[in-house]
Structure 1
C-alpha cells in the first residue's frame, strides 16, 4: 500500500500529525485552517477550527506541483508580511485554482513542501495494480465509519452503492462473493479480504472470453498463443513475437508463469488496462514527427486572451493563466497591451471590467514557463494599443527580460524564402506584431509607420482597437465588442524599437489570396476572425490550403463571445490554418479537440500537417475530399463492449448513473458524424453494451475521434461523465481501453471504456 510504504517518512509523519496553516486568497483574506494527511496517504483534509463539522478534502493525485516561496501573485502581494521560507503554493491539474499557504515555521513549511512532493512522486510511479489497490483502499477508508478496520455485509452493500454499483438483496453473486472473501467466517471483512472480495466482484467476463479464445488450456496464454492474439486481434503483424515477450515481462504478476513464458488472466487484464493496451498508439506519444520543416507546415497550439482566467468582460487577468496555458503545451500566447497610468504598460481586455496586470510581469512569467512543457518556439501575439512612448518601454522589457531567448535577427542573415523550422527555433521566443517595412527595404532609421486600426478591423487583425472616448452606455454594455467597428478610430504609431524586434511574424492586412500569391512574403501573417475564416474555407478551400503552405495565419474567436466560449477549431484545421486561437480557460468540446490533436508528438504544441496540405500546388479542398488524387476512405468500426468504474455525476446518496457511450467524428464536412449506444440502467460500475458503431472516414489524416460517456436522463439533458479525444491516425486497432478524462481534461482513474476497434479499406 502506498500509505504503508511511505508512512515512516519524517515529512509525511508531520503531515499526518497535522499543522495549522494560513490559507491565503488575497492581501486581506488570510485565514487559519487545520491541515492533515489522512491514513490512506493520499487524501489531504482541512477545516476551520470554528466551522463546526464542515471540512474540505483533496487527493494528492489532483496536485501537479508544489511551488516554494513567493511564487504566486497572491503570495507576492503579502511578501512583506510573511517571509518566503514560510510560504508555498499547491498547484492543481486542470483549471482548478491554486492553494496558497503560509506555515508557522520554515521547518513546517519544508515538511509540507517535501512531503507533498514525495506523495506526488509516489502516485505518479504506481503501476496499474498499485493504483487500483489504492483506489479500493480509499473507498474502504471512506466507508469504515467507526474506523475499526472491518466491514460487515450491510456496510459492504452501502459501500458498493457509493462506488456506483446497484446491488439489491436478490443479487446472488453478492452474498456468495462476501462469503468467499470472509475466510475467517467472522461476518466482516478486513481490508485485505475486502480487496479479495472486490476482485471477485470485478472479474470481467468480457476479458475472460477473449482470453479463452486464445488459451489452449483456459488457464494461461503461452508465448505463441499471446503472439497469435497480438497478430490477429491487435493487428501488430511482424512485431508481435518480440512484443509478446515484453508484455509478459512487464505485466505478468506470477513469477512461475513468467518462467514458463506464459501470461495468466491477471497479467492479460493488466496489459489490456495499461497505456500499451490503450487506444492511443504508444509510439505517437513520443516526438515522432519531422520537426525540420517550415513553421507554416505545422498546426500550432494557440491561446486567445491568454491573460484571462474567466470571461472577457469581468474576468480576472492573471499571470497564472499564462502559466496554465504554457504548461499545457500552448505555443502561441496573446498579450493585449495598453498604456499604464504610471508609465508601465499593462495587460487586460481593453474597455472592459477585467483586472489589469503589468506587462513586464507577464514577460517574466513567459520567460520562466515558456519551455517547461516543450522546447519548440513560442510566439508572442502582441495586440498593441500603447502610445509610442510605452511601446518603447515594452521593447526594453522584452529585450532585457528575455535576453537571448528573444529572436531579434534572421537566422542566417539572408532574406528568407521560407519560414525556419521548429527545430531551428528551439528555445526561442518570436514576436508577432506590426513592423515598419520589410527585410527587403533599406529604410531611413528615423521613419515611423502610421497604421490605421480601421484597416485592421476590416481585416479582423485587431479585436479591440484603440478608441477615443467611447460612449459610457456602450462601454458598460455586453454588446460592446459589436459596436467597436462603429466607433471613432484613432491612428496608432509604431515604436521603431518595438518594430525591430519583429522578425518572422510581421502582422499585415489580408488583401485576398491572389494578392498573397503574387506579393506576400513568407514572414508576413494575417489574422482572421472565426466568421471570415469559415467563409473563406467554404468559398475558396483550395486557395486557403495553398496559402497556408507558405504563410502563417491566426484565427481568433468573435468579439461577440463575451462569455469566452470557443468556436470549433476543426473547420480551420481542415484548410491548414496553423494558429487557431482558443480560450484555454474555457472547458468543453472545442478544447477537447485541441487537446486531442496536440496529445500526439510528445504534447510539444506542434503537429506536422499531412503532405497533401504542405504541397503549394495542392488541389485539396475539404468540401470535396474525393477529388484528392490519393483519396482512400476508410471504414471505422467500434464495438463498445463495457465500462469500468465510471464516476458518479450526482453525489446524492442513492443516485447511480445510467451510462451511454457516444462516438463523435470531427473532420472534413462529409466526415462529421455521431453514433451512440443505448443506456444501461443503474450501473456505472461495470456496464456492458456490446454494441457496434460504424463510420466511413473520407479524410482520415484530418479526422479526430471523440468518445463521450454520459448519464442518460429522459427528462433533461444528459450529464457529462467523461471523454477522450484523439486523432484518427493515432488509433490502435484491436481490444483497447479508453481511459476517460474529466471536463477539465484531467485523468479520472480508474474510469475506462473497453472497445474493439477495426479499421479497414473500403472495397
Structure 2
C-alpha cells in the first residue's frame, strides 16, 4: 500500500470514528440532585417515585398504579433494580413516553355550544399544492382528517357538460376531482383521529338541479352520520355531535337575485374579465392573479349565476346544519344586529378581519363570536398556499381559522401546536376571556399589558438524532453542532425568542440553559422549540421542532418529542425540558 493510500485510509478511519463516536447522554446535575433527594443509598422505591411525581412534577393526583406502570416499563428495559430504580433508570423514565409535556386525553368540557370552541380548519382542502395550478385530489383531505382537522372546505362547480359536480379552485388551472370521491374519502376517514364532529363547508357555484344532485350524493354517502337542523338560537355541542357530519353553506334563498343590481354588477365584472374558457367548469374566468384575488375576496359571496328563489333545491336546503351568511350591508350592520334568535356562520378574509380590527371593531367581533361562528380564510394573493398569523383570528374569537394544510412553515406549525391541545381531538375550548360579557371583555382588552404569568423553560439536553437521521445528514465529516431556539407565539405583547449556545460536535447536546417568558394572555400562548445544526453560511440545517400550548404544559421535567417540518413526530428525537410557572 502506498503512503498516499495509507493516509487516505487513516483519514477515513478517523472521520468514521469521529462521526460514530457517541457520548451516552448522562443525567444533568439538576437530575442527579433530585435523584439524591428522592432516593436512599442510590435506590428509588415506588413510593419515592410517587413522591417525586407529586412534589416536583406537580402531579397531585398521581396514583400508586401509575408509579407501578412506570416501574413495569423500566423492567422491560433491563435497567431496574429488584428493590427500585437506580439513577440511569430514573433518567430513562424522565426521557420516556410516560413523562410527556401535555396530556394525550380529551379533558376539556365538550358540552358547550360549538361557538365556544376553536375548530381545526382547512382551506381549499382538496389542493395538493399551490392555489393556481396544482392537482385536486382526495389525498390531502385524507391526510388532513388523519391529522385531526375537523373542518374540510370543498369548492363545488359544474363540470363542462353541467350534468355533474366537480371540486376545484374555480378560475385557475387546478385540476378537478369528483365530488363523490371527496365525500367518500371524508366518510372513511372522518373519525380516525377524533370522534368529534366534522364540518364540511361548501363554496357553492351550482345551479338548482346540481344542488339537488349534491343533496342526493351527501344523503347517500353519509346516511345516519349526517346532522341536519333548522335555524337555531344556539349551536349544539361537540359532545352531542360525536361521529356526526355537518354541512355548512349558504341557503339557496340567499343567492343572487335578478333584481340585485349591485351583486349583478360584480358578476358581470368577473365575466367581462374572462380571457379563456375553463373546460373544467364550463364557464369563462380570467386566470391572472388580480382576478384570483377578487375571487377570494368574494370567497363566500358565491359569484355564481342568478338563481330565483322558487327554483332553489329544497332538499339541498335541508342538508345545511350551519347556515352561512354574507357580508351584505357591511360588517358593522351585522355586528350591530347580532340576532339573538338565530346563529349563523360568517366568513371574511384575513385582510378584511385586520381592517375591521383596525377600525375598532375588535370587541364587537369577539361578542359576535360568543354565539355565532366566524371563519377566516387566507387572502387571495397567497397563491403559493402560504398561511397567515392565526392569532389575528383566535384573539378575536374566530372559531374557524382556515389554513392551507398542504405546505410547511412557521404559521402552520403554530396551527398544529394549538390543536395538540385537548388530546388532539380538533376542538379546543376558547378561553374564558373571550366569553365574558361585553363590559368585562372591553375592560380586559384595555388591560393587555399586565403580566398574568411567567413561564420558565430550562432546556437540559437532546438525544435521538443518531437514530432518526443518517450519520451524514448534517455534516459529512463531523458530528452536528446543535443549538435550539425557544420562543413564544401569541398576542403581540407575549412574542419573544431566545437562542441557546451552540454545542459543537455532539450528537447528544447538553445546553443547560433557562429562559423566562412573561405572559399577558397565557391562555392563548404557544411555546415553540426548534433545533438546528449550526452552519457558518447561516443556512442552518433543520433538526426538529415542536409547538405546544402553554395552558396545557405539565410542570416539572418533561421529555419533549420533536417533529419534522410537516409536523410528523420523530421516533426517537426529543429534548429534556423543565417547565415552571410563576
Q: How far 1:470 moved relative to its partner?
A: 0.9
For the residues of structure 2 that align with 1:333 and 1:544, how far apart are their CA atoms?
A: 24
The equivalent residue for 2:5 is: none
Structure number with the bigger relative contact order (C-alpha 8 A, sep ≥ 6) is 2
Matched residue, 1:402: 222
Q: CA RMSD in A?
A: 3.5
Query: Counterparts in 2 of 1:362-381, with a 5 A limit?
Result: 362-381=182-201
2:43 to 203, 220, 227: 220
Q: Is 1:354 aligned to 2:158, yes or no?
A: no
**Aligned pairs (5 A) from 1:654-693:** 654-683=477-506, 685-693=507-515
The answer for the alignment partner of 1:418 in structure 2 is 234
The match for 2:436 is: 615
Q: In the alignment, what sits opposite 1:477?
A: 288
Cα deviation for residue 449 of structure 1 reads: 5.6
1:476-521: per-residue Cα shift (whole Å, max 9, x none)? 4344423559999664325443223223333332633554343535
Verify: 1:574 aligned to 2:399, yes or no.
no
Q: 2:418 aligns with which of 593, 597, 608?
A: 597
**TM-score normalized by the length of structure 1:** 0.66
1:350-373 CA-to-partner distances (Å, cap 9, x unmatched) read 121111111122122222222222
The unaligned stretches of length 5 or more in structure 2 are: 1-9, 278-284
Per the alignment, do residues 456 and 529 of structure 1 end up closer, same or farther by CA in structure 2, a change over 3 Å counting? farther
- Please say if 1:294 is aligned against 2:113: yes
Distance in 2 between residues matched to 1:256 and 1:478, nearest whole Å: 62
Which residue matches 1:430? 246
Identify which of 103, 115, 134 aligns with 1:315.
134
CA distance in 1, matches of 2:297, 2:331: 24
* Corresponding position of 1:492: 306
Aligned mates of 1:753, 1:589 — CA distance in 2: 20
Measured in 2, the distance between the counterparts of 1:466 and 1:500 equals 30
CA distance in 1, matches of 2:17, 2:166: 54
Deviates more, 1:377-386 or 1:576-585: 377-386
1:509 has 2:330 as partner: no
On the 8 A contact 2:141/2:185 being kept in 1, the answer is: yes
- The separation in 1 between residues aligned to 2:212 and 2:490, in whole angstroms, is 44
Q: Aligned-pair distance for 1:278?
A: 2.2
Report if the CA contact (8 A) 1:575-1:621 is conserved.
no
TM-score by length of 2: 0.85
Equivalent residues of 1:303, 1:581 under 8 A apart? yes
> What is the alpha-carbon distance in structure 2 between the residues aligned to residue 740 and residue 622 of structure 1?
39
1:625, 1:274 → 2: CA distance?
A: 43
- Give the match for residue 521 of structure 2: 699
Query: How far does residue 155 in structure 1 lie from its aligned partner after superposition?
Result: 9.2
1:670 CA drift (Å): 0.9
Residue 632 of structure 1, CA deviation: 6.6
Bigger mean CA deviation after superposition, 373-382 or 576-585? 373-382
Kindly report which structure 2 residues correspond to 1:525-674, keeping only aligned pairs within 5 A, or say none: 525-538=345-358, 539-617=360-438, 619-620=440-441, 624=445, 626=447, 633-646=452-465, 647=469, 650=473, 653-674=476-497
Candidates 572, 577, 581, aligned match of 1:755: 577
Aligned twin of 1:335: 154
Aligned to 1:717: 539
CA contact (8 A) 1:528 1:554 kept: yes
User: Does the 8 Å CA contact 1:549/1:616 hold for their aligned counterparts?
Assistant: no
Distance 1:255 1:359 in 2: 54
| Alpha-carbon distance in structure 2 between the residues aligned to 1:558 and 1:623 | 29
Q: What residue is the counterpart of 1:738 in the other structure?
A: 560
Query: Are the equivalent residues in 1 in contact too, given 2:256–2:305 (CA < 8 A)?
Result: no
Correspondence list, 1:186-265, <5 A: 201-206=24-29, 209-210=32-33, 212-214=35-37, 217=40, 219-237=42-60, 239=62, 243-252=66-75, 259-260=82-83, 262-265=84-87
- Are the counterparts in 1 of residues 367 and 438 from structure 2 also a CA contact under 8 Å? yes
Uncovered stretches (5+) of structure 1, i.e. residues with no partner: 1-152, 168-197, 439-446
Corresponding residue for residue 127 of structure 1: none
**Which residue is 1:142 aligned to?**
none
Q: 1:633 Cα deviation (Å)? A: 0.8
Q: Is the 8 A contact 1:455 1:509 kept in 2?
A: no
Cα pair distance change 1:314/1:269, threshold 3 Å: same
The correspondence of residues 256-275 of structure 1 with structure 2, limited to 5 A, is 259-260=82-83, 262-275=84-97
Which 10-residue stretch deviates more, 498-507 or 633-642? 498-507
Is residue 100–residue 560 contact of structure 2 (8 Å, CA) maintained in 1?
yes
Q: 1:550 to 1:698 in 2, by over 3 A?
A: same
The answer (yes or no) to whether the contact 1:252–1:267 under 8 Å persists in 2 is no
Go from structure 1 to structure 2 and tell me whether the alpha carbon gap of 1:390 and 1:451 turns closer, same or farther (over 3 Å shift).
Answer: farther
Label 1:489 to 1:752 Cα distance change in 2 as closer, same or farther (>3 A). Answer: closer
CA distance in 2: counterparts of 1:312 and 1:741, whole angstroms: 26
Rounded to whole Å, the distance in 2 between the matches of 1:512 and 1:239 is 50
Q: Classify the secondary structure of the residue corresponding to 1:500.
A: helix
CA shift at 1:374, angstroms?
Answer: 1.8
Secondary structure of residue in 2 paired with 1:503: strand
The 2-side partners of 1:486 and 1:744 are apart by 28
Query: Displacement of 1:313 after TM fit?
Result: 0.9
SS of match in other structure, 1:400: helix
Deviations 1:524-548 (A, max 9, x none): 2110101111233443222221111
Q: How many pairs are equivalent?
A: 551
Q: Closer, same or farther in 2 for the Cα pair 1:255/1:747, shift >3 Å?
A: closer
